[in-house]
Chains A and B, each alone.
Chain A
Amino acid sequence: MATLQLHDLVKRFGDTEVIKGVDLDVEDREFVVFVGPSGCGKSTLMRMIAGLESASEGDILIDGQRMNDVGPADRGLAMVFQSYALYPHMSVADNMGFSMRLAGVPKAERRAKVLEAARILQLEPLLERKPKALSGGQRQRVAIGRAIVRNPGIFLFDEPLSNLDAALRVQMRIELARLHEELDATMIYVTHDQIEAMTMADKIVVLHDGVVEQVGSPMALYHHPRNRFVAGFIGSPTMNFFAVEVAGLDAEGVRVTLPGGGQCVVPVDGSRVQQAATLELGIRPEHLRLDDAGPLGGTIQVLERLGGQTSLYIETDGGLVTLMADGDVAYRVHDPVRFGFDASRAHLFDAEGLACESLKAHPLASLTRQDNRVSPQAAP
């Protein structure tokens, strides 16, 4: 069980700065997910925590101890690699027991620990097999087993599910969440898949270009994205953005003019906003609703029926807009539609892409995965 702090962490490869001063606090037993597009530095950041890359500047503290100059094996961590990185010439049992063999642990004790990990992961019948005789999901579990036997304070997962097929991915996701509960360990998890991030994290760290864009609970990121990047990255399908003009400011929020001339009041803090400035309004596809009297309109370009829901891609004056509607809407391609939204669901972003703060916090924004477990009905 361990905590982790990163202080102003910087990583340079030659002249290229890939991590540009990251500060982060990870609490004991927290499940933290680093998420971001490829090349954002999330894997590098994890490798720095693991000790596989050195830090160019800044401090890495585990349980308050500075770890910059401590070797990977002595940081009390275990890592699960994207490729699993199993030792192909060793059996499952030897793979899991390798760290103990190196540490000179007696054979009987090694065996007992391997069996214990195998029990947790349901790998007992496979212990004598070589990795090549295992399926992808089994290899994944062996890689996790190898981490478990080290009894680490912090588990590091580097995109562990990206090599699995969709069905297995869902299953492993559930299994990892279960494991987190059973092992009661701090876990740091890197992924580019925001669904994995949303479903598993206590805390999501959104990275972009080597900078932390926002840290928060999944619901905080969803309901109160700090900037346009986070707003666009979290949520699927991605948020719609329109250019709007500020028409007025008052205690209710910011009154803006929508493309097509309609107006609405977005309940956000307008203190940084100037009259007549052009802002960007963001609204999620699931918060748009079909409405014949709505302020926005366009023509349906593509229509995707998923059964329970239908995605409408609507060509408007302000660009292509995605709208999630009921599964049984009767529209067809090329039909004209009108739609609107509840202004309290909208977000406003200034010219720098920073969000105007909501006047009222969303009731779920402070919800964590822990709360989900303890009392599901506590959420209003």
Chain B
Amino acid sequence: MSMSRQPMASRHALPVKQLLLTLLAWSVAFVIFFPILWMVLTGFKTETAAIADPSFIFSPTLESYQAVQARSGYARFAINSVAVAFGSTLLALLIAIPSAYAMAFLPTKRTKGTLLWMLSTKMLPPVGVLVPIYLIFRDVGLLDTRTGLILVYTLMNLPIVVWMLYTFFKDMPKDILEAGRMDGASTFQEVWYLLLPLTLPGIASTGLLSVILSWNEAFWSLNLTSSKAAPLTAYIASFSSPEGLFWAKLSAASTMAIAPILILGWMTQKQMVRGLTFGAVK
């Protein structure tokens, strides 16, 4: 950020300062990235090397990956993760698009308050509602089901999804929707033919964020699933077991768990950045 704020001229006038800033930026990026790098490296170590003095020099091995694969099927967990992350995102968007439409285009004097209240639910620590939700899930038979997890994730992400869509929708010129209404569009047609195509980048980045948040969620997946519906986060956790902590295997499993979402994020990063900075830099 600090780099982009430099005026263009300073690039030529102060090469030293520019260089230092570049170095600083790279260092910060490296520090942020380091845990992930270390995890990936550890995954290629033997268990002994993993707990030895930290070192970048070692002979890489696929031993841990083989062990992880042998112990339990990665695929089953991965399928659960995909189903739950995309399922909950789809459901959240289905609920959030009409809500955000109403808030952005038909606001009342309570709209702002409602938005803030929705966001405030994110301030409650999830553990505060663990027992009631667990009991409800047990009674209605949602424990260890994908449906149950999809429901929880949807509720968990809904405030953020509504909030983000609301800001994207607010940027949409009202005239265009009114022109649609004059042309005879029903509310649904207005949304389908005009609002959705025109705010697609925003909806896509909101959806991506929701997928990522659901994918990485561990608290609810650990508490509400055991085997049938367990996603990759539960899979990772299973490597920290009463038999001991196996760093190399844990790292190998984690690397495999984050790989799909990392690749997805990589492919869509342009979309993500555009979405997250939409109204700000228009």
Which residues of A does B touch, CB under 8 Å?
Answer: 50, 52, 71-74, 77-79, 81-83, 85-89, 98-99, 102-103, 146, 150
How many A-B residue pairs have C-beta atoms within 8 angstroms? Tell me.
57
* Residue numbers in A under 8 Å from B198 (CB-CB): 87-89
Could you tell me which residues of chain B, from 198 to 256, have a CB within 8 Å of some CB in chain A? 198
Q: Within the complex, what minimum Cβ distance (angstroms) separates B74 from chain A?
A: 41
What string of 1s and 0s marks CB contacts (under 8 Å) between B168-186 and chain A? 0000010110111111110
Task: Flag if B173 contacts A85 (CB, 8 Å).
Answer: yes
Task: Flag if B184 contacts A89 (CB, 8 Å).
Answer: no
Q: Give Cα A89–Cα B178 distance, bound, in whole angstroms.
A: 16
Task: Flag if A103 contacts B184 (CB, 8 Å).
Answer: yes
What string of 1s and 0s marks CB contacts (under 8 Å) between B153-180 and chain A? 0000000000000000000010110111
Q: Give Cα A79–Cα B179 distance, bound, in whole angstroms.
A: 8
Subset of 14 A-B contacts with CB under 8 Å:
A52-B178, A52-B181, A71-B181, A73-B184, A73-B185, A83-B173, A85-B173, A86-B179, A87-B179, A88-B198, A98-B193, A99-B182, A102-B185, A102-B193
Contact of A81 among B178, B184, B197 (CB under 8 A): B178
Q: Give Cα A83–Cα B174 distance, bound, in whole angstroms.
A: 10
User: Using a Cβ–Cβ cut-off of 8 Å, how many residues does chain B contribute to the interface with A?
Assistant: 16
Contact of A102 among B173, B175, B176, B189 (CB under 8 A): B189
Known interface pairs A102-B184, A146-B183; 11 further A-B residue pairs with C-beta atoms within 8 A, sorted by A's residue number: A52-B181, A52-B182, A73-B184, A74-B184, A79-B182, A86-B179, A88-B176, A89-B198, A102-B183, A102-B189, A102-B193
* Residue numbers in B under 8 Å from A79 (CB-CB): 178-179, 182
Q: Check: B115 CB closer than 8 A to any chain A CB.
A: no
Q: Check: B40 CB closer than 8 A to any chain A CB.
A: no
Task: Flag if A81 contacts B194 (CB, 8 Å).
Answer: no
Task: Flag if A99 contacts B175 (CB, 8 Å).
Answer: no
Task: Flag if A77 contacts B185 (CB, 8 Å).
Answer: no
Task: Flag if B182 contacts A77 (CB, 8 Å).
Answer: yes
Q: Give Cα A33–Cα B212 distance, bound, in whole angstroms.
A: 55
Q: Give Cα A351–Cα B184 distance, bound, in whole angstroms.
A: 50
Q: Give Cα A354–Cα B279 distance, bound, in whole angstroms.
A: 50
* Residue numbers in B under 8 Å from A98 (CB-CB): 180, 183, 193
Q: Within the complex, what minimum Cβ distance (angstroms) separates B49 from chain A?
A: 55
* Residue from B176, B178, B179 with most neighbouring chain A CB atoms (10 Å): B179
Task: Flag if B181 contacts A85 (CB, 8 Å).
Answer: no
Chain B binding site: helix, strand, loop or mixed by DSSP? helix
Task: Flag if A85 contacts B183 (CB, 8 Å).
Answer: no
* Residue numbers in B under 8 Å from A52 (CB-CB): 178, 181-182
Task: Flag if A72 contacts B176 (CB, 8 Å).
Answer: no
Q: Within the complex, what minimum Cβ distance (angstroms) separates A302 from chain B?
A: 40
Q: Give Cα A86–Cα B175 distance, bound, in whole angstroms.
A: 9
Q: Give Cα A167–Cα B197 distance, bound, in whole angstroms.
A: 35
* Residue numbers in A under 8 Å from B197 (CB-CB): 89
Q: Within the complex, what minimum Cβ distance (angstroms) separates B282 from chain A?
A: 14
* Residue numbers in B under 8 Å from A71 (CB-CB): 181
Q: Give Cα A74–Cα B178 distance, bound, in whole angstroms.
A: 14
Q: Give Cα A2–Cα B194 distance, bound, in whole angstroms.
A: 30
Task: Flag if A50 contacts B182 (CB, 8 Å).
Answer: yes
Task: Flag if A87 contacts B184 (CB, 8 Å).
Answer: no
B184 nearest in chain A by CB position: A73
Q: Give Cα A178–Cα B175 distance, bound, in whole angstroms.
A: 26
Task: Flag if A72 contacts B182 (CB, 8 Å).
Answer: yes
A81/B189 contact (C-beta < 8 A), A73-B183, A89-B198 known: no
Contact of B184 among A82, A88, A99 (CB under 8 A): A99
* Residue numbers in B under 8 Å from A88 (CB-CB): 176, 198
Task: Flag if A83 contacts B175 (CB, 8 Å).
Answer: yes
Q: Give Cα A99–Cα B176 distance, bound, in whole angstroms.
A: 13
* Residue numbers in A under 8 Å from B181 (CB-CB): 52, 71-73
* Residue numbers in A under 8 Å from B175 (CB-CB): 81-83, 85
Q: Within the complex, what minimum Cβ distance (angstroms) separates A54 from chain B?
A: 13
Q: Give Cα A79–Cα B175 distance, bound, in whole angstroms.
A: 11
* Residue numbers in B under 8 Å from A72 (CB-CB): 178, 181-182
Q: Give Cα A86–Cα B176 distance, bound, in whole angstroms.
A: 6
* Residue numbers in B under 8 Å from A78 (CB-CB): 182
Task: Flag if A87 contacts B182 (CB, 8 Å).
Answer: no
Q: Give Cα A204–Cα B189 distance, bound, in whole angstroms.
A: 37
Q: Which 7 A-B pairs have CB atoms at the shortest separation, nearest pair first?
A: A73-B184, A85-B175, A99-B183, A85-B179, A102-B184, A81-B175, A83-B175
* Residue from A74, A82, A85 with most neighbouring chain B CB atoms (10 Å): A85
Task: Flag if A85 contacts B176 (CB, 8 Å).
Answer: yes
Q: Give Cα A71–Cα B175 distance, bound, in whole angstroms.
A: 16
Q: Give Cα A85–Cα B183 distance, bound, in whole angstroms.
A: 12
Q: Give Cα A81–Cα B178 distance, bound, in whole angstroms.
A: 9
Q: Give Cα A71–Cα B189 distance, bound, in whole angstroms.
A: 15
Q: Give Cα A146–Cα B185 distance, bound, in whole angstroms.
A: 14
* Residue numbers in B under 8 Å from A74 (CB-CB): 184
Q: Give Cα A102–Cα B3 distance, bound, in whole angstroms.
A: 49
* Residue numbers in A under 8 Å from B176 (CB-CB): 85-88
* Residue numbers in A under 8 Å from B185 (CB-CB): 73, 102
Q: Give Cα A72–Cα B178 distance, bound, in whole angstroms.
A: 9
A99 nearest in chain B by CB position: B183
Q: Give Cα A71–Cα B184 distance, bound, in whole angstroms.
A: 8
B183 nearest in chain A by CB position: A99
Q: Within the complex, what minimum Cβ distance (angstroms) separates B64 from chain A?
A: 49
Q: Give Cα A73–Cα B185 distance, bound, in whole angstroms.
A: 8
A150/B183 contact (C-beta < 8 A), A85-B173, A102-B189 known: yes
Q: Give Cα A82–Cα B179 distance, bound, in whole angstroms.
A: 11
* Residue numbers in A under 8 Å from B184 (CB-CB): 73-74, 99, 102-103
Q: Give Cα A186–Cα B62 distance, bound, in whole angstroms.
A: 80
Task: Flag if B178 contacts A85 (CB, 8 Å).
Answer: yes
A83 nearest in chain B by CB position: B175
Q: Give Cα A83–Cα B179 distance, bound, in whole angstroms.
A: 10
* Residue from B175, B176, B183 with most neighbouring chain A CB atoms (10 Å): B183
Q: Give Cα A83–Cα B189 distance, bound, in whole angstroms.
A: 21
